[in-house]
Amino acid sequence: MSGHTLASPLQRRRQCPACQWEMLPDGRLGVEVDYCPLCRGVWLDGGELEAIVARTVVAAEQSQGDRR
- In tens, the pLDDT along 25-66 reads 998 778 889 999 999 999 998 999 999 999 999 888 888 876
pTM: 0.61
Say which residue, 64 or 8, is predicted with more confidence. 64
Q: CA 47 to CA 57: how far, in whole Å?
A: 16
Would you place residue 8 in the very low, low, confident or very high pLDDT band (cuts 50, 70, 90)? very low
Please tell me the predicted confidence (pLDDT) of residue 64.
Answer: 80
The string of DSSP letters for 18-52 reads TT-PBPEEEEETTEEEEE-TTT--EE--TTHHHHH
Fold exhibited by the domain 1-68: Ubiquitin-like (UB roll) (3.10.20)
Please tell me the predicted confidence (pLDDT) of residue 7.
Answer: 44
Cα–chain center distance at 2 = 23
Q: CA 22 to CA 7: how far, in whole Å?
A: 9
Residue 9 has pLDDT above 60, yes or no: no
